[in-house]
Amino acid sequence: MSVYYDHQNRRAFETELRRNPETCVWERIIVREVPYEGESPLVSTERKSRSPIEADRLHGALLRYLANDESFLDKNSTAELRERPEWCKKHGGR
């Protein structure tokens, strides 16, 4: 069994998977309604905004990691990321 949260209507249901004998398709069946706890993961009331300095530092660290030879990117993408800081300086972008 699992719990399905309907955040839009602020309701929660306990569900289970059952196979429909006529169609042989697995269907999620609502067993019972349970008390709703929590908020939608898409809505955050207290979202901390990062300072521009911290965001730039994190962005730079991410680019350095991706441009590293040990990253999961292919050689062409890694080469483009290594050239990106120079391009940004030249064109005034991030």
Q: What is the pLDDT of residues 30-49, one digit of tens each?
A: 898 888 876 655 555 555 56
Q: How much is the pLDDT for 39?
A: 62
Nearest Cα neighbor of 64 from 38, 42, 91, 85 is 85
Percent of the chain with pLDDT over 70: 80
Q: Does residue 29 register a pLDDT over 60?
A: yes
- pLDDT attached to residue 25: 92
Query: CB-side exposure of 49: number of CA atoms within 13 Å?
Result: 2
Counting DSSP H helices and E strands in the chain, the numbers are 2, 3
Full strand arrangement of the beta sheet holding 11-19: 2-6, 11-19, 26-34
- pTM score, two decimals? 0.36
